[in-house]
Amino acid sequence: MSIIFSENDKTFTLHTNDTTYQMKVDKFGFLLHLYYGRKTKGCMDYLLTYADRGFSGNPYEAGKDRTYSMDVLPQELPCQGMGDYRNTAVVIKNADGSYDSSFRYKGHNILNGKYSIKGLPAVYASEDEAQTLEIYLEDPVTKVQITLLYGVLPELNIITRSAVIKNAGTGKIYLEKAQAACLDFVSGQYDVISFYGRHTMERNVQRTPVMHGTQSIVSRRGTSSHQYNPMIILAGKETTEDAGNCYALSFVYSGSFKGEVEKDQFNQTRVLLGLSDDLFSYPLEVGDVFYVPEVVMTYTNTGLAKLSQNLHTCFRTHLCRGKYKESVRPVLLNSWEASYFDFTGKSIYQLAKQAADLGIDMLVMDDGWFGKRNDDYSGLGDWYVNEEKLGETLGSLIKKINSLGVKFGIWFEPEGINEDSDLYRAHPDWALSVPGRDPVRARYQLVMDFSRKEVVDYLFDKMCKVLDQGNIEYVKWDMNRSLSDCYSCATKDQGRVQYDYVLGLYDFLERLIKKYPDILFEGCSGGGGRFDAGMLYYTPQIWCSDNSDAMDRLFIQYGTSFGYPMSSVAAHVSAVPNHQTGRITPFNTRGIVAMSGSFGYELDPDKLSEEEKIKIQDQIKSYKKYAILVQKGLYYRLSDPFKDEISAWEFIAADASEVLVSAVMLEVHGNMPINYVRLKGLIPDTMYCEKTSGRIYASDALMETGIPLPAKMGEYHAYQMYFTIERN
Ligand code: GLA
C-alpha cells in the first residue's frame, strides 16, 4: 500500500519505492505538510515547532496560545485569510466580496489507480500501478469545498497533485488564484533551477540560490512559452548530476502558469506551481466545479540525472499516448526550410522522390498549402486546400507520394488567423480582440477564440475535411504567437478566457487523436514555445525549436532534457549556412545532434552534393539502429555545454547492455587540452566493447577517467561511440 492514513496521528503517508511524502491534519483541522524526501517511516510531526512569533498572527481557536501561527507552519494549502503572509496556493473572492478562506479537513478517501481530471491532461496508470488520495477540505463559512488529489506511482517515484474546487455555497464566487502544488520545507538551503529562453533559443538553464523574497517563473502569454518553462527544480547546494537531493515539479498544462519559490523570515522554503493569477478571475456559480491542472513531482537523493530519468520515464510511459508512444517514429523530410512558402505540388512531389531515394520515411508539407497563403500576411484560417498552387487535389498528391513508398504528413495552425482570410471576413468576432481597440498583431496574425465551443467545432470540422482527403499519417500542430487581447464576446467574465482557451485546445486535440488514432501528432509553437507536459498527453513529440543550428541545438536539447524525454524532442538536420545563425557545421555533427531525438531532415536534398546524399543514407541507417535505445534508454548528460568545451550525452539500455555516447566539440583552440568523456550507469567490474574500433574497455575505467576525444583540426567535430557489454 503506497498511501497510509494513521488514525492515531492523523497523518497521511505517501510512499513510492524511494521517497516518502507526509502530511497531518492538526488539532484545528488544518492540513499541515510534514515531509517530502528520501524514503522513511514513522510520524514526523516532531518537525513542527511552535514559538511566539510576534507579528505572525494566530488563528482565533488558538485562544491565548501565541505560538501557533499559519505564518510559520508548513502547509498543504496556504490560503488568503489564514494569517499566512507567504505566497498562497488559493485565493477566492467570496460572494460577499471578501477574499478570506480557511480550509479545514472534512474527510478523505484512498482509491486504487490514478485519478484523471475532466477535460485536462494527466498522468495515467492502471489500478495496480498507482493509488489516489482524495482529501476533502471545506471553508466553514462560505462552504466552498476543495478536494486535494494526490496520485502516487511507487515504481516511478512520482507523486502528482491536483485540486477540484466546488462552489457549494450560496452565491457566485471568483477563483483568483489556483496553484496545483505546494511544497514547504522547514529546513535546508536550496538552489532553484529554472529554464528561460526566447524564440529560437529555448530552455537555457539557470541555477540560482533561493533567496529571501520570491523568485517567480511566469508565463502570462496564454501558452507555456519560449520564455519560461513550467518546470522547477529545487536542488541542494551541493547537488550535481550524480549526487545530492533534488525535487522536480512539472506542470501538466500548456497555458499561462506561475511558479513561486520563496524563502521566508525563518529561512523556510515554499515552492508553488500552478495557474498564473494574471488575467485570471474564474467565476463559479453555485454548484460549479473548477479543475486545477496537475503538477508532477519527483524526488531523488542521487542527483539530477536520476531526477530527469524519473520524469522521462513517467512522461514517456504514463503521459504520452497512442500508437507512437512506444514505436519508432518515422524519419521525416519537412518542406519548411527546404522551400518555405515557395512550393507547388510538383516540387513537393520532387522532395518526396528525393526522400524515397535517400531512405526517408515521410514527407511533411509544411505551411503554405491552404487558402491564399504564400507568405505569412494572409490565409491563416482558410483550411481548404489551395489546389491551384498544388496543381492537383491533395488526395492525388498523397497517392503519388505514397506510391513512392513515402508516407505523407501535413502542417496546421488551427489557433491562428490572418485578418486577410475568408474566415476572418465572415467571423471577425471569432478572433480574440477587445471591442473598440486595435488588437495586438504578432507574425501579422490574431488568435482564434478557442474558449468558444462553436469556434472549436467549426475548425475541427474543417480540419477533418482536409484529413479525410487522403492517407495522412502525420500532423504538425503549430501555434505561432502568444495570446493577447484576451477578450471573448461569448462571456462577461473575461478572467476565465485564458483557462477556457486551453480547455478548448485540449478538447480539440482529444477529439482529433480519438478520431485519427493512427496519425502521429507533433506539437509546435514557433518551435518550442509550448514544450510542456500538457502537450505531451496529445502529441508524443514536439518540434523543440525553430533553431535547427546543431550548435545551438546542443544547448536547447540539453536544457530540454532536464524535464522531457528525448523521444519527445523533434530534431532535424538542416542545410548550411544555417538559416537561423548562418553557422556552418559538419554534416556528421548535424546528424549526431538530430538523431538524439525524433529524427528528420529540413532541407532540399536537390541542393546537396552526392557525397552528402550518401551521408544521409548512412545517418538514417545509424538512426534506425539506435532508435529504440534513443527512445527508451536512460539518458545521461555527460557534460554541461554552458561550462565545458564539449557537449556530451549518453543513452543506455535499462539493463546497461548497450550504450550510445555522443560528443561534440564546442570550442577549438590552439594546442588544446584533451577532453575526456566519462560514461555513466555502466555495470561495474564488466568489460564493454566499442563496436566501431572493436576495442574492449573496463567499465570502471570508462566511468572513472573516460575516453579521450581526438584533438582534430576544425570546428564542431562530433563523435559517436556505441558500446555493448562483453558477456564473458
Ligand atoms: C513555425 C514552426 C516552423 C514552421 C513555420 C511555418 O515557425 O515552428 O517549423 O512550421 O511555423 O509557418
Q: Among the atoms of ligand 1, which is closest to the Cα of residue 376?
A: 12
Distance of alpha carbon 663 from alpha carbon 358, whole angstroms: 26
Same domain for 7 and 109, yes or no, is yes
CATH of the domain at 694: 2.60.40.1180
The domain containing residue 699 runs over which residues? 646-725
b vs e for 597-615, b when ≥16 Cβ sit within 10 Å of the residue's Cβ?
Answer: bbbbbbbbbeebeeeeeeb
Cα 7 to ligand 1 centroid, rounded to whole Å: 56
Distance of alpha carbon 335 from alpha carbon 474, whole angstroms: 14
Preceding amide of 59 cis, omega within 30: no
Q: Which residue minimizes the CA distance to atom 1 of ligand 1? A: 526
Ligand 1 contacts CB of residue 262 (under 6 A): no
Q: Cβ of 351: how many Cβ atoms within 10 Å?
A: 27
Return the axis-axis angle of helices 587-594 and 550-561, rounded to nearest 10°. Answer: 20
Q: Among the atoms of ligand 1, which is closest to the Cα of residue 546?
A: 8
Same domain for 370 and 302, yes or no, is no
| End-of-domain residue from the set 282, 313, 344 | 313
Greatest alpha-carbon span in the chain: 86
- Give the pLDDT of residue 326: 87
| End-of-domain residue from the set 528, 543, 558 | 543
Q: Which residue minimizes the CA distance to atom 2 of ligand 1? A: 526
Cα 367 to ligand 1 centroid, rounded to whole Å: 7
Distance of alpha carbon 346 from alpha carbon 389, whole angstroms: 10
Ligand 1 contacts CB of residue 291 (under 6 A): no
Ligand 1 contacts CB of residue 480 (under 6 A): yes
Same domain for 408 and 509, yes or no, is yes
Q: Which residue minimizes the CA distance to atom 11 of ligand 1? A: 526
In a domain, 567, yes or no: no
Same domain for 244 and 370, yes or no, is no
Which member of 507, 612, 640, 690 is catalytic?
612
Q: Among the atoms of ligand 1, which is closest to the Cα of residue 366?
A: 10
- Quote the radius of gyration of the chain (alpha carbons, Å): 27
Q: Among the atoms of ligand 1, which is closest to the Cα of residue 411?
A: 10
Cα 153 to ligand 1 centroid, rounded to whole Å: 37
CATH of the domain at 18: 2.70.98.60
Distance of alpha carbon 627 from alpha carbon 615, whole angstroms: 17
In a domain, 606, yes or no: no
Give the number of domains in the chain: 3
Question: pLDDT below 70 — which residues of the chain?
Answer: 728
Q: What is the pLDDT of residues 486-518, one digit of tens each?
A: 999 999 999 999 999 999 999 999 999 999 999
Ligand 1 contacts CB of residue 543 (under 6 A): yes
Same domain for 56 and 101, yes or no, is yes
Cα 268 to ligand 1 centroid, rounded to whole Å: 44
In a domain, 123, yes or no: yes
Same domain for 300 and 409, yes or no, is no
Cα 199 to ligand 1 centroid, rounded to whole Å: 11
Ligand 1 contacts CB of residue 565 (under 6 A): no
Distance of alpha carbon 658 from alpha carbon 690, whole angstroms: 10
Ligand 1 contacts CB of residue 367 (under 6 A): yes
Q: Is 612 a catalytic residue?
A: yes
Q: Cβ of 646: how many Cβ atoms within 10 Å?
A: 21
Ligand 1 contacts CB of residue 599 (under 6 A): no
Beta bridge partners of 228: 196
- Give the pLDDT of residue 727: 78
Same domain for 355 and 284, yes or no, is no
Cα 478 to ligand 1 centroid, rounded to whole Å: 7
b vs e for 235-259, b when ≥16 Cβ sit within 10 Å of the residue's Cβ?
Answer: bbeebebeebbbbbbbbbbbbbbbb
Ligand 1 contacts CB of residue 412 (under 6 A): no
- Give the pLDDT of residue 728: 63
Ligand 1 contacts CB of residue 529 (under 6 A): no
Ligand 1 contacts CB of residue 527 (under 6 A): yes
Beta bridge partners of 248: 233, 298
In a domain, 571, yes or no: no
Please report how many Cα atoms fall inside a 13 Å half-sphere around the Cα of residue 238, on the Cβ side.
5
In a domain, 128, yes or no: yes
Cα 16 to ligand 1 centroid, rounded to whole Å: 41
Q: Which residue minimizes the CA distance to atom 6 of ligand 1? A: 367
In a domain, 616, yes or no: no
Ligand 1 binding pocket mutation candidate from 332, 336, 530 (most atoms within 8 A of CB): 336
Cα 479 to ligand 1 centroid, rounded to whole Å: 8
CATH of the domain at 446: 3.20.20.70
Ligand 1 contacts CB of residue 542 (under 6 A): no
Ligand 1 contacts CB of residue 202 (under 6 A): no
- The DSSP code for 448 is B
Same domain for 301 and 413, yes or no, is no
In a domain, 585, yes or no: no
Cα 412 to ligand 1 centroid, rounded to whole Å: 10
Which member of 532, 546, 549, 552 is catalytic?
532
Q: Is 610 a catalytic residue?
A: no
Same domain for 282 and 336, yes or no, is no
| End-of-domain residue from the set 512, 527, 543 | 543
Same domain for 114 and 56, yes or no, is yes
Ligand 1 contacts CB of residue 523 (under 6 A): no
Same domain for 21 and 75, yes or no, is yes
Same domain for 466 and 533, yes or no, is yes
In a domain, 674, yes or no: yes
Distance of alpha carbon 4 from alpha carbon 1, whole angstroms: 7
Cα 526 to ligand 1 centroid, rounded to whole Å: 6
Ligand 1 contacts CB of residue 546 (under 6 A): yes
